[in-house]
Each structure stands twice: as structure tokens, then as C-alpha cells.
Chain A
Amino acid sequence: MADATLGLGRLPVGAIERRGVGWWGMLCVIATEGALFAYLLFSYYYYDVQFGEGWRPSELPSFRLSLPNTIILLLSNLAAWAGARGLKRGARRELIAGIAVALILGTAFVVLQAIEWRQKSFSVSSSTYSSMYFTVCGFHMAHLVAGILILLMVLIWSTLGYFDRWRNAPVLIGNAYWHFVLAVWLAVFLTFYVAPYWG
């Protein structure tokens, strides 16, 4: 009788897709880290509004490295996403290829960003602007490196054959984080590189 009232049929056991608690945990991570970047950019705009244009350095950040880098991060996300889609169809090789490409492109982003930092004429202690620039970009870089570590683990686990079309929670969770890192970069890019041209 209890069976009928409970109306339970067969239930999946353990995490599958987005139904385990891990996925929900990642949403919480994204919420709280997203808030962190909101406060970082709030601080930037706070100075910007308080002190006006003269607060920024005369030479605006250049698109020379940052634009290609933005495209690289977009492509990296595309590759990771395509890999996860491949796994959904049962194509494990597509997953491995997708994550591997995402990893290589992600690492390229770190290298280009490091070169750009090296070429800056200011350091963290030069002015509030420079403190802000290195702190915001530094926080983003730290999250990006965490993302690279996550992708690396997903790659290792994929190669070990841990995932299939149902047991894919770490792939989806890693992907969600990687998309979040991209979204944050777009906000940072708009703030530091694009917004100054709007006045």
C-alpha cells in the first residue's frame, strides 16, 4: 500500500547528469564567486565615478593581445562544450579531444595574459588604477588557473574511462565553471578595455 502512495518507481542511484548535489554545489560556487567579481568591478567603477577620466592612465589598455586572447578563451569554451556534447552521444573520444583543446587554449590565454602584464608600464603600487587592474585581472587569472586544473582532472578522468553518457557530472560541473570564467573575463574585458572608449 505504501508503495502505491509513495508512487516510487525506479530511481537512478548516484550522481547522473545535473541531478546529483555536486551540480547544485557548483551553482552556489558560481553565485558566490560571481558576487566577488561584482564587488571587484563595483570598486573599479566607484573610483572611476569618484575621480573621473583623469584617474585612468593616459595610455588606455590595448586590444593587441587582449582581443585575440578573448577569442582564444571563447574557442576554448566552445571546445569544452563540444566535448561534453560528444559524451552525451556516447563519443568518449570527442570528449577527450574537446577537453584537451580547451586546456591548450586555456593555457595559451594564461601565457598571453602574462606577456601583457610584463609589458605594462605600471606595477601594483603605482596608483589606485594599477592596484585595481592587477587585483581584478589577478583574481580572474587565479580563477582561470583553477579552471585549468579542473579541466586537467576532467581530462585525466576521461582518459581513465570514468565517464559515460549518464555518469558525466564532473564533465558538466567543470564545463559550468569554465563558462563562468569566460563570463567573468568578458565583464573584465568590457570594463578595462572597452568601457573607457565610451567615455
Chain B
Amino acid sequence: MDPVKPSDFARGEAHLGKSLLIRGELSGSEDLYLDGQVEGTIDLKGNRLTVGPNGKIKANVNARSAVVHGKLEGNITASDRVDLKHSAVVTGDITTQRISIDEGAYFKGGVDIHRDAPKQEVVGAKPEVTPASTPAAAGASVSATGARPAPIAALDPRK
């Protein structure tokens, strides 16, 4: 797995290192970088969650955006966007407005794109065309067309 450079995550966000294990409810009002293990729930409404390459998360996530380099087992609800990097292993359902999945990422689950705002984008990564997998260069974008069904709050249970 490629290491995540310090520049990959924003300054000022909280950082939980790879030796940490948290069980329970994790909530906050600032961006969070997680490289350890979390079992429970993560609620960062309005903020960004980054799961580092060593991160092992077993939790439902609620955030503005989520960037996953490591392993995440649980449902992700992001009001803005979700980025699954090439080393990501994600099992669960994703509900968001935009999603980017790098080539090589593993994903098992459902994707439900909801568009509340009139000009939102759906982004799909195509590294063979745009090797730099930054969100801005993550692939073609298209504008949403027409009215969409209301977002599904809870997707069907798998187990």
C-alpha cells in the first residue's frame, strides 16, 4: 500500500494513529484522519473523514465527505462525496451525491446517488485516462438530469 503523504490530508484535522483502537460512538465537528481501528459509529456531519491506509473501520459513517484508503466495513452516508482510493476495501452501502472509485479499489455493496442540489456531479475515476487520481482529475463528470427520487435513508440490510 502506498503511504499517504502529509499533504494528502488537510492541516488542522484531527488525527488518530494506527495504534489506536476505538470502540463506540465517535462524533465531532472537525475533519478527522483515521489510521487506526474503529468499531461502532462515526458521525462527522458537515466534516470530512479520511481513512488512512492502515485504517480498519467497522462502523456506519455519516459525514460531509469520506476518503478511504484502507478498509471500511459499514454504510457510508456522505452529503457531498465519497472517494475510494486504489487501496480501499469497502463493504457496505454508499449514499452520496458524488462518488469516485479508483481502479483497483474493492467495493462490495450498493451505490445510491442522490442529487438534492440542481447542479451536482457524478464522478467516476478512470485512471487509465487520468493517472492522477485526485478528485478534480478523477474522470468525466456529467450534470445531473431531471428530477431524482428522494434519497433512500437506509438501504436494504445484507445480513
Are A and B subunits of one complex?
no
